[in-house]
Amino acid sequence: MKTTKKLYLSLMLAVLGLQACEKTGVVELELITPKKSWTDTVEVNKFEIGVNGQDKLNWNWNNPDQNSIAVNYRNISGGTVSRDLTLPWKTQGNILCVPNPDIKTEDGWDVVVVNFGTTEKPIDMPFFLIYNKKTSLLRCFIYNSQRIAANDFVGKLIYHGTSSDHASFISQIKTSKTKASTFDAWINLEFKVTYSELAQLTEKKELGIDIRCLIFHYYNFDNFTPRT
């Protein structure tokens, strides 16, 4: 008897529910699908750049007729490579390679630090930094001369000094994630930083950039072997 009452009550509730849905004209269904796979990331191939520049601040870096720059860097075997590199916004595949790239002086951008290396002092990775006082945006362009085999990168500003205030300030700046072509390409990074702090850090040569490759691991729950 009790079972019959419960069944009758369940049917009544189902009917009332259908009627309510018919009044609104919407029937909502929630489908719960078991999680079959997931992706995680690992940061590898860390390399660090000390932001020490050369005296090239008069370089007309956004000259529309200039397509390349002369650089000198060490290759993976320790030898010196001297060559001309196509500018980031002239390089096919770079995110700034568009008809009107946002890098122009009239839009607020200016060169902060340049280091392309010299034949006497080649560097590991040529780079240059530009800054926009209007937006407080710092753009860092690092050339992947070490031929790191990755497409995804994460960068973070780091502090090389003794001031706890500056160290605290740098630690609060958000990391920058970007994509770049595998091998032989410019890595573009962007950071929000105040001009006063940036000026002090670059003048005292206390700024660095930590760059790591992001490796994505995909796991299938139906065919999964746990890592040991």
Q: What residues does each domain of the chain span? A: 38-219
For residue 145, give the nearest of 77, 216, 223 by alpha carbon: 77
Rounded to 5 degrees, what angle do the CA atoms 45, 48, 51 make?
155
Identity of the amino acid at 136: S
The whole-number pLDDT of residue 87 equals: 95
The whole-number pLDDT of residue 126 equals: 94
Return the bridge partners of 47, or none: 211
The CB density around residue 63, as the number of other CB atoms within 10 Å, is 9
What is this structure's pTM? 0.74
Q: What is the DSSP string of the chain?
A: -HHHHHHHHHHHHHHHHHHHHHHHT-----------EEEEEEEEEEEEEE----S-TT--TT-TT--EEEEEEE-TTS-EEEEEEE-GGGSTT-TT-SSS-S--GGGTEEEEEEE---SSS-BSS-EEEEEETTTTEEEEEEE-TT----SEEEEEEEE-SS-HHHHHHHHTSPPEEEE--SSS-EEEEEEE--HHHHHHHHHTT-EEEEEEEEEEEEEEGGG-----
Q: Which residues contact 16 (CB under 8 A, 6 or more apart)?
A: none
User: Which tokens go with 222?
Assistant: 């139906």
Residue 15's φ and ψ, nearest 5 degrees, are -65, -45
The whole-number pLDDT of residue 56 equals: 77
Q: In a structure prediction context, what are the per-residue pLDDT tens digits for the chain, which is 228 residues long?
A: 545 544 454 545 444 444 444 444 444 434 444 555 544 555 456 778 888 888 877 788 888 899 999 999 998 788 999 999 999 999 988 889 899 899 999 999 999 999 999 999 999 999 999 999 999 999 999 998 876 777 788 899 999 888 888 889 888 999 999 888 766 689 999 999 999 999 989 888 999 999 888 765 554 555 545 444
The whole-number pLDDT of residue 71 equals: 95
The answer to whether the CB of 47 falls within 8 A of the CB of 36 is no
